Amino acid sequence: MLATAIALTLPVPQAATAPERINKAPALPTLPTPSAAEIGVAQPRSVPAVGSAVNGMWITLSPGASGNSRTRVKMPVSEGMPLLADWNGDGVSTPGVFSAGQWLVTNAAVGRSSWEGFASLGSAGDIPLTGNRDDDGKADIATFRDGIWNWRDSTGRQETYQFGERGDIPVVGDWNGDGVDEPGVVRGSTWIVPRPSGEGTRSFSFGQPGDTPIAGDWDGDGKDGPGVVRGNQRWFLAKSVARPDKVDSLVFQVEEGESALVGLQTSAPGACPTATSEAERFGKVEQRKVRAPLLPQGTRRIPGYQEINATLRDGMRGVMVTDLTNRLRSRSMMPYYDPLSSERLKEEAIRRSANAAFSAAILVSTSGYIKDNRITRDMLLDYARWHIRSIACSHGAISPGGWGNDWQSALWAVVAGQAGWMLWDELTVQERAYVAAMVFSEAEYAAQRGPRYFRDRVGAELSPGNSRSDEVSWDLLAPALAYSMFPGHEREAKWRDSMIAMAIAAFARPGNLGDNTFVNGISVSVRLPGTNANEDGTVTNHGIVNPDYTQNVQHLWWAATLLRAGRQSVPESLFLNADIVYRALAVVDFPSPPYAPPGGTVYAPGGQIYYPMGVSWGIRRPATFVGVDAFANLYAAPDTNAGAFLAAHAYDTRALQLRFRSGQIYAPGREEESYRLGKEEYALQQVALAWWAGAWKANGRSMQVDTGAYPWVRLHSGYELDELGGTRW
């Protein structure tokens, strides 16, 4: 039953206390700005690396002018000798292990992976090596024992010969730049390699007895040079066998149990260290198709927005300082900090940092931010870019084995991608390329998944106790962002159609199955295969009517605002049932009994939240509802009192924050907010969304609604694709 609209008495926020003075956060590395022509055409170069089969950890160091990035790949613990090579020819080296003649590999360059069988060659006691003997880009494998080399290339062709003698240490390199790797041996500190003519050998001294010899193309000139690791930390790397006197050095610790290895980086120095050449080229093309968004400026004149702005500023100080002096302190000088290895779970590693970047981007681009809390605009911009490029770099569209195209990844990509889009004019071409590729990939994946449903047409639960409204509504954000960023793209129709389909499905109610509703030329009652919301607009999740999931209706309005930012018309389907679902928070009454005492509306006076059937994520989460309130204040009917609820929740959020000098909102522990994987960053994301929505209410251009007919849109899960990328029924 719908109750009448209620009036609110808003609490008076307590006076703000002065924020605690903090030490200046360490400076983040700047990046060189390659031209568009430079992206994707870099000569592959070798980079130092270490690996340990017994520890299951491989670490690659990517030196750059502004700092060294380290990328970690976690593998199952195994026995044998660690390896690193480009097993599939994508231009990026990935872990391998040799154990008693068995070669196990992975093609993942970031994150966690598992071993796959690759080849059988050699036996226990052999020394394994890799190289490129047939110039096809894929690693060929070899074993060495007492001067005897046994090679097998990627086609299966084998070759056996002698080069060296017992006691020599084998190395492999393209010594003359002809694209074919040749053998070499190190005897004491003497290196012996074939002459370019193929007749005889060349010998020269490099390093000292006791050094660990390695070889690689350290400067990207196409010729491999000698290198040694001394004292398990000092690396000396020479330009070529013809110029062993031209040496660079660096410090990179080889810990106990690790072996010195040589990695391969196909991207330019200062670029994403694990990007494939194909991804670089793709991103280079796609970023040219992006149009920067409209950026209306926010205002503090709307009730509650003084508090929203203050909460966002103080919260960003807290999150930024936490990252740079604690959580990510050891990575703060890495241009690309490898977020996937920063936390145990991908959700915390990616979503948490994406929320921080998003909040910073909103503050930088729409608030007139200059300096606050000893943090300047440039510092905040550098911080946002650092997260954005690192998150995008580690996406699977850029780095093999990266995150993405999975549960909730569409949401993470949209948060990081929108942050990048809002700062588009301040990103390097390379950063734009990675953001564009990430957004494109997630839009394609989400569109392909399509709608899913909680109940079928007769009311049977397909996913018992859990509506699919949250998943479907966050998925639709990915094609919405792509549709907004890439106007006129050849995939535009596909993204639009999938967005419309998921918008219709996300909060479809049982009554829609018989109410003769038409949106965008689609007969909803005839075409819907199921529903996701309850008839009164509430959403069931965790087996209860759950306000924390009802608030996901903001995804519809978020998508609409993305389209407005991209100067696109907004399909009317993005508003289907949105007002009704918001009323489940603001207007629908839950009498007690049968509901928990005291009963009433979810939105209680004073900014408190009433949970009629129990709590999922904590009892004091006003920030969770600030975002949906701000969108409702922009789009919902006036009788929902969205503006008053927005102000109440903004005041309460600020009051919670003012208990602390750190900028945090929630007290330690799980009572107020139990989300452990970045609850402060999630609260800030909601506050930032509220600020952005307020900017559109105060200063945004009028909205163009698309009432066009798209009757072919498919409301079932999955899409059939035609050759143009469009969708069809």
As annotated, the residues of the chain forming the CATH 1.50.10 domain(s) are 287-728
Whether residue 213 is predicted with pLDDT greater than 60 in this model: the reply is yes
Percentages (nearest 5) of helix, strand, coil residues in the chain: 35, 20, 45
Q: How far apart (Å, rounded) are the C-alpha atoms in residues 327 and 451?
A: 37
Lowest mean pLDDT among 4-8, 456-460, 688-692: 4-8
Residue with tokens 């000569």: 43
d(CA 624, CA 270): 38
Report the amino acid identity of residue 634.
L
Segments of the chain assigned to CATH 2.120.10:
44-270
**417 pLDDT more than 80:** yes
pLDDT at 5: 31
Across residues 706-710, what is the average pLDDT? Answer: 97
Query: Within 13 Å and on the Cβ side, how many CA atoms surround 413?
Result: 38
CA distance 628 to 252: 48
* Sign of the torsion formed by the C-alpha atoms of 245, 248, 251 and 255: negative
Instruction: Tell me what pLDDT residue 31 has.
Output: 58
Ramachandran sector of residue 725 (left: φ over 0; alpha: ψ -120 to 50; beta: rest): left
Mean pLDDT for the chain overall: 92
User: Is pLDDT above 90 for 635?
Assistant: yes
CATH-assigned architecture of domain 44-270: 6 Propeller (2.120)
Q: What does the pLDDT average to over 327-335?
A: 93
Which tops the pLDDT comparison, 618 or 720?
618
Tell me the three-class secondary structure of 48-106, residue by residue: EEEEECCCCEEEEEECCCCCCEEEEEECCCCCCEEEEECCCCCCCCEEEEEECCEEEEC
DSSP classification of residue 168: P
pLDDT of residue 484: 98
- The DSSP code sequence of 232-243 is TTEEEEES-SS-
Tokens of 199: 């007749």
Residues 218, 197 contacting (CB under 8 angstroms): no
Burial of 626 (0-12, 13-18, 19+ CB in 10 A): buried
* For residue 256, pLDDT beyond 70: yes
Is it the case that residue 189 has pLDDT exceeding 80? yes
Q: How confident is the model at residue 78 (pLDDT cuts 50, 70, 90)?
A: very high
Contact 529, 716 (CB under 8 A): yes
Under the banding of pLDDT at 50, 70 and 90, the label for residue 21 is very low
pLDDT above 70 as % of the chain: 93
Helix (H, G, I), strand (E, B) or coil at 151: strand
Q: What is the mean pLDDT of residues 138-156?
A: 95
pLDDT at 67: 82
**Stretch 560-585: mean pLDDT, rounded?**
98
DSSP 285-354: HHHTT--PPP-PPP-S-STTHHHHHHHHHHHHHHHHHHIIIIITGGGTT-SS--GGGTSSSHIIIIIIHH
What is the structure's pLDDT at 63? 87
What the block records as the tokens of 344 is 């145990």
Provide the token pair at 438.
Answer: 């990430």
- Give the pLDDT score at 720: 46
Identify which of 725, 64, 91 has the alpha carbon closest to the alpha carbon of residue 389: 64
At 600-615, the pLDDT tens digits run 999 998 899 999 999 9
> Residue 577: CB partners within 8 Å, gap ≥ 6?
507, 508, 509, 512, 533, 537, 553
Question: CA dist 306 to 216, 365, 661, Å?
Answer: 58, 17, 18
Q: What are the tokens at 140?
A: 């060929």
Q: How far is CA 380 from CA 317, 365, 403, 434, 685, in A?
A: 9, 11, 25, 20, 15
Evaluate if residue 719 carries a pLDDT over 80. no
- Whether residue 424 contacts residue 360, with contact meaning beta carbons closer than 8 Å, is answered with no
Q: Give φ, ψ of 395 to 5 degrees.
A: -75, 150
Q: Are 64 and 45 in contact (CB under 8 A)?
A: no
What is the distance between the alpha carbons of residues 472 and 438, in angstroms, rounded to a whole number? 19
Neighbouring C-alpha atoms within 13 Å toward the C-beta of 674: 7
9 class by beta-carbon count within 10 Å (0-12 exposed, 13-18 middle, 19+ buried): exposed
Would you tell me which CATH number, out of the four given (1.10.10, 1.10.1060, 3.90.25, 1.50.10), belongs to the domain 287-728? 1.50.10
- CA 59/CA 330 separation, integer angstroms: 15
Q: Quick one: pLDDT band at residue 8, thresholds 50, 70, 90?
A: very low
**What is residue 12's predicted lDDT score, i.e. its pLDDT?**
39
Residue 373 has pLDDT above 90, yes or no: no
The answer on pLDDT for 727 being more than 70 is no
Q: Does 477 score more than 60 pLDDT? A: yes
Tokens of 208: 């000292």
Residue 4 has pLDDT above 80, yes or no: no
Strand partners, 213: 228
pLDDT at 718 over 80: no
Residue 29 is predicted with a pLDDT of: 64
Residue at token pair 């390896």: 83
